[in-house]
Amino acid sequence: MCGIIGFTGYKPAQDILLDGLQRLEYRGYDSAGIAFFKDNSGHVSVRKTAGKVNDLRAICDEENTSSTGIGHTRWATHGGVTNANAHPHKFGEVTLIHNGIIENYHELIEKYDLKGKLKSDTDTEVAAAVISCNYSGDPVSAIRAAVSELKGSFAFCILFKNHPGEIYAVRNVSPMVATHTDDHGSFIASDLTAFIEYSNSYFVVPEYHIMTMTDGGIKLEDMEGNDVAPQYMTVDWDVSTAQKGGYPHFMIKEIHEQPQALSDTMGPRIKDLLPDFEEDGIPDSLFEGVKDITVIACGTAMYAGNVGRTLIQNKFGIPVTIAIASEFRYERPTISSDTLVIVCSQSGETIDTLEALRLAGKYTDRTLAVVNVKGSSIARESNYVLYTHAGPEIAVASTKAYSVQVAAMYLIGCKLGLVLGRATEAEVREFISGLKNIPSLIEEVLKMEERIKGLANRMVNTKDAFYIGRGLDYTLSMEGALKLKEISYIHSEAYAAGELKHGTISLITDGTPVIAIATQQNVYSKVISNIREVKARGAYVLLISKDKEITDETVCDEHISIPDISDELTIFESIIILQILAYYTSVGKGIDPDQPRNLAKSVTVE
Ligand code: F6R
């Protein structure tokens, strides 16, 4: 939610800021803006506008020699989508950009007598004013004083008039990473993709530490003024990973990256066809004596966790509860020290998930994060981390992160099965040898892209769609329905196939699309009966199954046959079809699937 970037160095800042913002647009695209020291003087200039980064480019100066600036792309929280509410915000001698929410901004308006003095409706401008009111020449003291008064989450990059070449930064909860290179200078951003072109090494800005950035380096100090050494880390991807690479959208590129992402995630964790987390520093003792599991996550990550729940409970007999992070936080926890808490998150920054993890940590030391972004808050705050290696996921709709999360859950399940004596090594080896084949089977499914594209044409004019299945196919349906609704704006719901007749079937009329998934042999005939029930009421049925062919018109209108593998693994194949279907439906409707309305990736507001 909201992308921020700052650069001060040896080259003009404007293009670095604009290109970085473009890469951060997945975090929000309601408005965009930059601020910079005009002609490297002490005077700060601002360009900002409602709209996307390309709209901002259009109003930027063609020649801009400033080598210090900050930039922002907004996902609106307080105040509508207007030019005035776009960041940066200027108050007095302070210009800042913000990701997060200042919860006590009403009180601060009273306290600092700001009524009538603000130009926007944002909480951010209030923060700028509070810093400005505390400023008498020393930026660090002003930030320290202001931050002690702010309640809520924030990542700020701040310019002070008459301090050319300097960027100040501080954060609480909202993410921010930074780096310095001798060749270019100092960078800061919401995430590494913004400056990956210049460095693949970076550090996470610690919470409640103040940073002073200049072209020569970065000074990091705690609130008492003690110097702190940044903890640098590196990633093994480069700028090409964060570009479209010839694909029209990030989403379809990321769908195609799934075989690689799965190989990268599973490969290092499989030794002799058994799960091995030694390199991750996860000891078997974490799993010893586990009585139950709680999986905490949001959205797609939660649906991935739900697939894991179904497998782990059914295959290994371990009770698993799925908790929606935003609900878990306000319910009475039922976890104990024998509960393994698995927290799933692509970004590692989703605030609801992070807060739920913090709460869970009060009851058990067995917290294990399945996270994609290295060094993210959730990764740092859980007791153990199993990183998924999907590389950067930039499209707002999650695709490859889902598959690798499911794979990670499956491997964790296998480890638990072995440690708790719920499965023999031979059983686990058989299962994992199937899992290892998944990347090449997905390549086969990806070859069906043109066919699925054709099927998507049928969806473009529809208002409602239903996804049905049983068992693992039902859990998969939830993700399929979410994919379609978030990027095509078609109302779509997932139902356990046997549940339809208890109410929802009344919504099925002539031509209503029903995407049915029937890959689980133990319930196959039941699902087929359920499909016949909707077909008899006029539904247009698209069926995904392992059958080579289905000619019976009372079952389906279209059939997609997936390669025949064990029931527990078909989900990896079926999800590809559902993702491609959603993608082409969105494109067919003229929507940008990478940036659907109202959404943003990395949800750092509650
Ligand atoms: C949907 C989607 C979201 C995220 C959710 C959690 O396509 O991407 O539902 O899955 O916001 O995000 P992470 O995994 O970053 O915690």
Q: Tens digit of pLDDT for each residue in 50-59? A: 999 999 999 9
Q: Supply the pLDDT for residue 544.
A: 97
Task: Report the CATH number at residue 575.
Answer: 3.40.50.10490
Q: Supply the pLDDT for residue 10.
A: 96
Q: Supply the pLDDT for residue 503.
A: 86
Total structural domains within the chain:
3
Q: Would 603 be classed as within a structural domain?
A: no
Q: Would 34 be classed as within a structural domain?
A: yes
Ligand 1 mean position, distance from CA 398 (Å): 6
Is there a contact between 483 and 457 (Cβ–Cβ < 8 Å)?
A: no
Q: Would 45 be classed as within a structural domain?
A: yes
Residue 355 pLDDT > 80: yes
Q: Where residue 236 falls among pLDDT bands split at 50, 70, 90?
A: confident
Residue 475: left (phi > 0), alpha (psi -120 to 50), or beta?
alpha
Place of tokens 């559902």: 578
Nearest-angstrom CA–CA distance, 85 and 392: 29
Q: Would 602 be classed as within a structural domain?
A: no
Same domain, 496 and 588: yes
Amino acid identity, position 214: T
Last residue of a domain, one of 239, 256, 271: 239
**What is the arithmetic mean of pLDDT over 528-539?**
94
Residue 239 pLDDT > 90: no
**What is the arithmetic mean of pLDDT over 288-309?**
98
Same domain, 69 and 30: yes
Q: Would 601 be classed as within a structural domain?
A: no
Q: Where residue 598 falls among pLDDT bands split at 50, 70, 90?
A: confident
State the pairing for strand pair 339-345/292-297: parallel
Nearest-angstrom CA–CA distance, 74 and 535: 45
Nearest residue (by CA) to ligand 1, atom 16, is 345
Nearest residue (by CA) to ligand 1, atom 10, is 300
Please state, in angstroms and as integers, the Cα–Cα distance from residue 428 to each residue in 356, 415, 423, 425, 471, following that order.
31, 9, 7, 5, 21
Same domain, 283 and 215: no
Structure tokens at 323: 């908790």
Is there a contact between 189 and 154 (Cβ–Cβ < 8 Å)?
A: no
Active site residue 601: yes
**What is the arithmetic mean of pLDDT over 355-371?**
97
Ligand 1 mean position, distance from CA 472 (Å): 20
Residue 600 pLDDT > 80: no
Residue 112 pLDDT > 90: yes
Ligand 1 mean position, distance from CA 402 (Å): 9
Same domain, 230 and 293: no
Same domain, 131 and 270: no
Last residue of a domain, one of 393, 414, 436: 436
Q: Which atom of ligand 1 is nearest to the CA of 399?
A: 7
Nearest-angstrom CA–CA distance, 158 and 220: 15
**What is the arithmetic mean of pLDDT over 457-480?**
96
- In this structure, what are the phi and psi dihedrals at residue 103, rounded to the nearest 5 degrees? -75, -30
Same domain, 168 and 310: no
Q: Supply the pLDDT for residue 393.
A: 92
Residue 410 pLDDT > 90: yes
Q: Supply the pLDDT for residue 599.
A: 75
Mean pLDDT of the chain: 95
Closest CA to 513 of 454, 556, 449, 562: 556
**What is the arithmetic mean of pLDDT over 435-440?**
97
Residue 321 pLDDT > 80: yes
Same domain, 260 and 221: no
Same domain, 318 and 430: yes
Last residue of a domain, one of 211, 239, 267: 239
Nearest-angstrom CA–CA distance, 593 and 585: 9
Q: Tens digit of pLDDT for each residue in 151-167? A: 999 999 999 999 999 99
Q: Poorest-confidence range of 193-197, 264-268, 284-288?
A: 193-197
Structural domain of residue 348, as residue ranges? 244-436
Amino acid identity, position 28: G
Q: Where residue 223 falls among pLDDT bands split at 50, 70, 90?
A: very high
Q: Would 429 be classed as within a structural domain?
A: yes
Ligand 1 mean position, distance from CA 347 (Å): 8
pLDDT above 70: percentage of residues in the chain: 99
Same domain, 213 and 362: no
Same domain, 232 and 116: yes
Task: Report the CATH number at residue 117.
Answer: 3.60.20.10
Q: Would 606 be classed as within a structural domain?
A: no
Closest CA to 394 of 235, 577, 262, 255: 255
Q: Would 599 be classed as within a structural domain?
A: no
**What is the arithmetic mean of pLDDT over 513-522?**
97
The preferred substitution site among 603, 605, 606 for testing ligand 1, maximizing ligand atoms within 8 Å of CB, is 603
Identify which has the larger pLDDT, 15 or 25.
Answer: 15
Q: Supply the pLDDT for residue 79.
A: 83
Q: Tens digit of pLDDT for each residue in 168-184? A: 999 998 899 999 999 99
Report the pocket of ligand 1 as residue ranges, CB < 6 Å.
298-301, 345-347, 350, 353, 397-398, 482, 486, 602-603
Nearest residue (by CA) to ligand 1, atom 5, is 299
Same domain, 370 and 456: no
Active site residue 2: yes
Same domain, 277 and 171: no
